[in-house]
Amino acid sequence: MDEKSPAMGQTVTFAKPNIFPMARWHMPSLPMAILLVTVGFLVLTPLGLMILNSFQIARPGEPIVWGMDGWAKAFSSPGIIRAMTNTFTLAITRQLIALAVGVFFAWLIARTDLPMKGPLEFLFWLSFFLPALPQTMGWILLLDPKYGLLNQGVQALGLSEHGPFNIYSFWGIVWAHLGGTVAVKVMLLSPAFRNLDAALEESSRISGASGRHTFFHIIVPIMAPAILVTTILGIIRSLEAFEIELLLGTPIGLQVYSTKIHELVTWEPPQFPAAMALSTVSLGILLLMVALQRGYIAHRSYVTVTGHGFSIRPTRLGRWRYPALAVVLLFALVMTAVPTVLLVAGTFMKLFGFFNIPQPWTLDNWRATLTDPVLVRSVWNTIAIGVGSGAVGILLYSVIAHVIVKTNHRGGWLLDFLSWLPWSIPGILLGVALMWTFLQTRIFLPIYGTIYVLMIAMVIKSMPLGTQLIKSVFLQLGNDLEEASKVCGGTWLDTFRRVIFPLTMPALITVGLIGFISAARDISTVVLLGTGKSRTLSLLMLDFAAGAEFEKATVVAVIIVGLVVGAALFARAIGGQVGVRE
């Protein structure tokens, strides 16, 4: 039965339960210890080296010398205060806009009778997964103040003597980030909205509440944990954002936290202690945000899926159905299709960015790139790393999330804390920390320089997002489902395999997709770990761009986009939460 009366519905109480009100299972101590040791080693070893080396002031290869020079240099570096101000100003601006837009779009897609919900959600997934660097190159082709197509069109029509749009600006950086930032909100909130029992909304309407009152006083409070998690993840992503700020901020002298760290790392000689000191500060910011998040949800219950009936009837938009469709579709197409089309156009340009030269188009870029033997190896490496890290991630993150949410083991809070830590430092410094870990840990030495090192790096890097995505689903699964399994004689492992795993399958497929596509698009985490034999497509794209071969770089970028689209379509076909099915 698809619907039920309000009398059969579940109520959401805001009483005083335990931190995790659904905790009923006791995980054996030995498996818990093994899990804590494994996660702790993967996460704490690179972070510990990062903090330790912020006090190590000798140059690489020289005898160790301890001191505070790195910290002093970090906070006396010219422009550091301005860079930190720019970082938080950009982050807050992006997140405020994206939160308002993303929550509304996720609700429309998951909870209403909006047409074309599947294709719309799929477009937002693509917007999230498309690599930042090539997307930004597409926006440059459109919004460059001198050569951008849009500015040239405005001038040709006589509407302005000078191009009114400038991608090299504060708002240009916000714009370049907006598609991916909103997409994160839609991607993480849509599954949570979809698990919300419609009986709650029906009861509100029966009581005479308006749609606006229901949305802000019933839906948003119930969705508070998922909204808070996505906000925290969004802020952390904003703090580590690098490629767009480097490309668009450098010409106007706008630095942010991550580009300042990059500057310290790329100085000659590299200022690793100062860079590590700045990263340690970001770790402290993360700890504060995690504490606030845990304190907020500690005294609330958010169960919306139980063993009783469950209503999925969508909210009817009435006359607003097609206007809402137009708004969402326009946003999704502008943020996804426009830069991608321009990116494809850039692969056929003789000189990137110049549309007004004689005969600007050519096929030579594709011929030169596709015949490069390095490309074939990079494609294979990318697929192998993506499949490996995705598979390992599904298993590891689901176990971590289940232990945190569904068990009452005393080490659950520590596991939750550890799963957040990889987001605490910028990708490039996580890469530095991992490089030192692999070089200084004997068990990793035999695999250094192989694709297995990059798999480990991607599993660590994707741990916060993957774990939090599965946690948001576990938080909504009622305890009576597991209690029924326990009454029938099922063990903890049986319950996880036969009850929890099937219910969370769409989210697990999504997590695997995240791992695969992260391997295709991530640059900063693996740039110091990749070698000639383990180079991925993203690193090949960076090599071409660094060598001023932007035309070849766009060709590789289009291949990456093809892999992203193909992986997303495959995940959606086998049941992943990559767009809803209508």
What's the pLDDT tens digit per position in 395-441? 899 888 888 887 777 777 888 888 877 876 667 777 777 777 777 67
Q: In CATH, which of 1.10.3720.10, 1.10.1740.10, 1.25.40.10, 3.50.50.60 is domain 27-573?
A: 1.10.3720.10
Mean pLDDT across the stretch 506-523? 83
* Per-residue model confidence (pLDDT) at position 184: 85
Query: Of 139-143, 343-347, 475-479, 548-552, where does mean pLDDT reach its minimum?
Result: 475-479
Q: How confident is the model at residue 358 (pLDDT cuts 50, 70, 90)?
A: confident
* Per-residue model confidence (pLDDT) at position 177: 92
Mean pLDDT across the stretch 480-501? 73
* Per-residue model confidence (pLDDT) at position 398: 86
Give the number of residues written for the chain.
582
- On the question of pLDDT at 43 being above 80, the answer is yes
Strand-pair partners of 305: 477
8 A C-beta contact, residue 500 and residue 483: no
Mean pLDDT across the stretch 325-350? 90
Mean pLDDT across the stretch 500-507? 78
8 A C-beta contact, residue 422 and residue 461: yes
The structural domains of the chain, with segments of one domain joined by +, span 27-573
DSSP conformational letter for 444: G
| 120 or 356, higher pLDDT | 120
| 68 or 314, higher pLDDT | 68
Tokens of 218: 């019933």
- Whole-structure pTM value: 0.75
8 A C-beta contact, residue 440 and residue 507: no
Distance CA 196, CA 37 (A): 35
Tens of pLDDT, residue by residue over 60-70, are 667 778 888 88
* Per-residue model confidence (pLDDT) at position 308: 47
Residue-wise burial string across 502-538, b where 16 or more C-beta atoms lie within 10 A, e elsewhere: eebebbbbbbbbbbbbbbbbbbbbbbbbbeeebbbbb
* Per-residue model confidence (pLDDT) at position 17: 37
Q: How many CB atoms lie within 10 A of CB 446?
A: 9
* Per-residue model confidence (pLDDT) at position 160: 79
- On the question of pLDDT at 90 being above 90, the answer is yes
Query: Of 5-9, 233-237, 372-376, where does mean pLDDT reach its minimum?
Result: 5-9
* Per-residue model confidence (pLDDT) at position 166: 92
- On the question of pLDDT at 331 being above 90, the answer is yes
- On the question of pLDDT at 515 being above 80, the answer is yes
* Per-residue model confidence (pLDDT) at position 290: 64
Question: Of 418, 415, 393, whose CA–CA distance to 404 is shortest?
Answer: 415
Query: Of 211-220, 251-260, 353-362, 375-384, where does mean pLDDT reach its minimum?
Result: 211-220
* Per-residue model confidence (pLDDT) at position 98: 93
Mean pLDDT across the stretch 351-359? 79
Q: Exposed (0-12), middle (13-18) or buried (19+): which is 255, by Cβ within 10 Å?
A: buried
Q: What are residue 349's phi and psi, to 5 degrees? A: -90, 135
Distance CA 562, CA 541 (A): 14
Q: How confident is the model at residue 18 (pLDDT cuts 50, 70, 90)?
A: very low
* Per-residue model confidence (pLDDT) at position 286: 67
* Per-residue model confidence (pLDDT) at position 510: 82
Mean pLDDT across the stretch 226-240? 75
Kindly compute the dihedral angle of the four CA atoms of residues 374, 378, 380, 381, in this order, to the nearest 10 degrees: 130
- On the question of pLDDT at 35 being above 80, the answer is yes
* Per-residue model confidence (pLDDT) at position 295: 64
- On the question of pLDDT at 479 being above 80, the answer is no
Tens of pLDDT, residue by residue over 166-224, are 999 999 999 999 998 998 888 778 877 776 666 666 666 666 666 666 776 677 777 77
- On the question of pLDDT at 94 being above 70, the answer is yes
| Cβ-proximal residues to 285 (8 Å cutoff; 6+ apart), any chain | 239, 424
- On the question of pLDDT at 499 being above 90, the answer is no
Mean pLDDT across the stretch 522-550? 80
String of DSSP letters for 371-408: T-HHHHHHHHHHHHHHHHHHHHHHHHHHHHHHHHHHB-
| Cβ-proximal residues to 306 (8 Å cutoff; 6+ apart), any chain | 10, 478, 480, 481
Percent of the chain's residues with pLDDT above 90: 11
- On the question of pLDDT at 30 being above 80, the answer is no
Q: What is the mean pLDDT of the chain?
A: 78
* Per-residue model confidence (pLDDT) at position 213: 66
Mean pLDDT across the stretch 473-493? 73
